[in-house]
């Protein structure tokens, strides 16, 4: 399996997971159809599945057009079936989704929205975290509670350290500036920021990050308790 990063809209990332053995793919959170179609046609790849982490338009905007074009099947959380355009395969928390050679465990992570899920491709050690966990940050709490978000992040924290994290937005530099303000002596963070700056200067994505890097550097994951986490989340909302 190979993961291709497709920049969409202003700062979204969609991800195409390619099975090179038969030139098929699934896409995670297609914000818009055009850049995905462009990429797939150039490589002559068939899009079999559309996976959505949550219902927000910047993660599902391409669903209908891609479905029409490739006859792809839309896959998402059962409880969000009314909110995800074109959905056909309904998944539950803890379920293993398996189709063709794609294999992912569904992790329900409420907080940003009540129906947010992550797709954990545990064999390849990849996780797609949508707007729940960002590199050096976490999503805004729109529909859930602080406690739900805190517990959701803990689920991701417990994955193997080498797990690669693919999130929904390129927010890393702004997140880094917030982290360093509250954790200025963290040498791992200082080192990571140097790398992030270099990547952004070269026009490269800062994604994927890893569970290890986030445990070392992300103050939202480093928050010891719900109180600290909630305070940081409030501060970040006004950063």
What would the DSSP string read from start to end of 44-75? Answer: T-EEEEEE-SS--HHHHTTHHHHHHHH--EEE
For residue 25, give every residue at least 6 positions away whose Cβ sits within 8 Å of its Cβ, in sequence order, or none. Answer: 16, 17, 18, 19, 40, 45, 46, 47, 48
CA atoms of 48 and 131, how far apart (whole Å): 23
32 near Fe ion, rule: CB under 5 A: no
CB atoms within 10 A of CB 147: 14
* Residue 62 partner contact from Zn ion, Fe ion, none using kind-dependent CB cut-offs of 5 to 8 Å: none
Query: Does the active-site annotation cover 54?
Result: yes
Question: Measured from the CB of residue 49, what is the shortest distance to Fe ion in angstroms?
Answer: 20
Please identify, using beta-carbon distances, which residue of 35 and 139 lies nearer to Zn ion. 139
End-to-end CA separation in angstroms for the chain? 38
* Residue 76 partner contact from Fe ion, Zn ion, none using kind-dependent CB cut-offs of 5 to 8 Å: none
Query: Does the active-site annotation cover 182?
Result: no
Query: Does the active-site annotation cover 131?
Result: yes
Q: Annotated catalytic residue: which of 80, 116, 120, 131?
A: 131
Q: Which range of residues in 38-46, 130-138, 153-161, 190-198 is near Fe ion by CB under 5 A?
A: 130-138
CA atoms of 97 and 121, how far apart (whole Å): 9
From the list 27, 72, 109, 131, which residue makes contact with Fe ion (rule: CB under 5 A)?
131
Please identify, using beta-carbon distances, which residue of 32 and 58 lies nearer to Fe ion. 58
Residue 52 sits at the vertex; the CA angle it makes with 94 and 91, to the nearest 5 degrees, is 30
80 near Zn ion, rule: CB under 5 A: no
Query: Does the active-site annotation cover 55?
Result: no
Q: Annotated catalytic residue: which of 59, 108, 116, 120?
A: 59
Query: Does the active-site annotation cover 108?
Result: no
Give the residue numbers marked as catalytic.
54, 56, 58-59, 112, 131, 169
């Amino acid at each position: 399996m190979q993961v291709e990063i497709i920049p969409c809209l202003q700062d979204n990332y969609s991800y195409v997971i390619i099975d090179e053995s038969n030139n098929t793919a699934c896409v995670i959170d297609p914000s818009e159809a055009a850049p995905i179609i462009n990429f797939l046609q150039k490589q002559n790849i068939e899009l079999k599945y559309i996976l959505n982490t949550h219902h927000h338009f910047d993660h599902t905007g391409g669903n209908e057009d891609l479905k029409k074009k490739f006859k792809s099947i839309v896959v998402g959380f059962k409880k969000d079936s009314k909110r995800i355009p074109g959905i056909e395969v309904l998944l539950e928390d803890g379920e293993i989704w398996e189709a063709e050679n794609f294999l992912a465990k569904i992790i329900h992570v409420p907080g940003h929205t009540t129906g947010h899920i992550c797709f954990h491709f545990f064999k390849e050690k990849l996780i797609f975290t949508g707007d729940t966990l960002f590199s050096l940050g976490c999503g805004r709490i729109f529909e859930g509670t602080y406690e739900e978000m805190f517990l959701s992040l803990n689920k991701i924290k417990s994955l193997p350290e080498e797990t690669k994290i693919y999130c929904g937005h390129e927010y890393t530099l702004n997140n880094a500036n917030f982290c360093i303000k509250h954790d200025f002596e963290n040498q791992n963070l200082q080192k990571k920021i140097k790398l992030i700056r270099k990547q952004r200067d070269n026009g490269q994505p800062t994604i994927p990050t890893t569970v290890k890097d986030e445990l070392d550097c992300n103050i939202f994951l480093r928050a010891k308790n719900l109180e600290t986490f909630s305070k940081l989340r409030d501060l970040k909302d006004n950063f």
